Structure 1
Amino acid sequence: MAFTGEKGAIKTGENSITKMENWKLSIKANEVDTTSFDSDGWEETEVTTKSWEVSMEGTFNKADTTGQKAVMAALVSGENLPIKLYVDKTAEKEDFSGNIKITGLDIDTTVKDKLKISIKAKGNGKLNGLDD
């Protein structure tokens, strides 16, 4: 059975960010080279800090005063924005959550298409949901 994304959702606090069509979560672990003379010619590494980023896209919704507007306000203020990412919006608990800093926002207006919004954010602190 294949899973599909039509039940996904994005929330900031308890408010949905409306009209969104996709979200992407990228998680990265930083490596430190620990290769030594004792490594017998093989590279060795240790994982140190981790980071995460989120990107989201959808239809621009000027009427969404608690979702898309909150994202814009967080970009302007530089404040943390709590985020909850759902694979299935009917689930009791989100799949991933944490605080983000909004790092980019694009609104695309095209004559023959809907208004689009693209949001980029960087995780600020721990990403919850990986060890549940």
Structure 2
Amino acid sequence: MAIAGKGGSVYIGTNKVAEIDQWSVDFKADTKETTNFDSNGWKEFIQTINEWSGKIEGNFKPTDTTGQAALITAFMNGTTVSVEFRIDSTKKITGTAYLESIGLEAKVDDKQTFKADFRGTGQPTVTLT
């Protein structure tokens, strides 16, 4: 059964980031080839080091001092944030991350938007129950 995205949210520490309307988290693993004479003509690999990253996007709200403004401050200072990507009230992905980029966009005929890209540092916690 599919899960509606409307239950999602993003938190920095204990503070909800205001007006976010989409987020994504990506996990990636490095692999190293281990092919040898016993591989029967097929390449073989092992998984080595993992990493994760995330992105958020939504409406720009400069008065969100503990959310969007806090992310901008963390980016400017080069400090990590504790970020929580919530699928719903119990399912979430939590970790420590640096901000790789912050984006603000304003168009004359559209809303102003905010986006941020995270690079995880260390292993995240995935809670799917």
Give the whole-Å Cα distance in 2 for the aligned partners of 1:56 and 1:79. Answer: 18
How do residues 75-94 of structure 1 correspond to structure 2 at under 5 angstroms?
A: 75-88=75-88, 91=89, 93-94=90-91
Q: Return the TM-score normalized by structure 2.
A: 0.94
How do residues 41-80 of structure 1 correspond to structure 2 at under 5 angstroms?
A: 41-80=41-80
1:119 and 2:116 correspond:
yes
Give the corresponding residue for 1:28.
28
SS in 2 for 1:75: helix
Deviations 1:73-114 (A, max 9, x none): 1101111100011111xx2x4511000100011100001111
Give the corresponding residue for 1:95.
92
Quote the sequence identity (%).
Answer: 29
Give the corresponding residue for 1:105.
102
How many residue pairs get aligned? The number is: 129
Change (3 A) 1:48 1:74: same
Deviations 1:40-91 (A, max 9, x none): 1111000011001101100010000000011001101111100011111xx2
Give 2:102's aligned amino acid.
L
Contact 2:91 2:127 in 1 (8 A): no
Of 21-30 and 93-102, the range deviating more from structure 2 = 93-102
Give the whole-Å Cα distance in 2 for the aligned partners of 1:10 and 1:130. Answer: 14
In structure 1, stretches of 5+ residues that fail to align are none
Which 4+ runs in 1 deviate beyond 3 A? none
Give 1:124's aligned amino acid.
T
Give the whole-Å Cα distance in 2 for the aligned partners of 1:120 and 1:103. Answer: 5
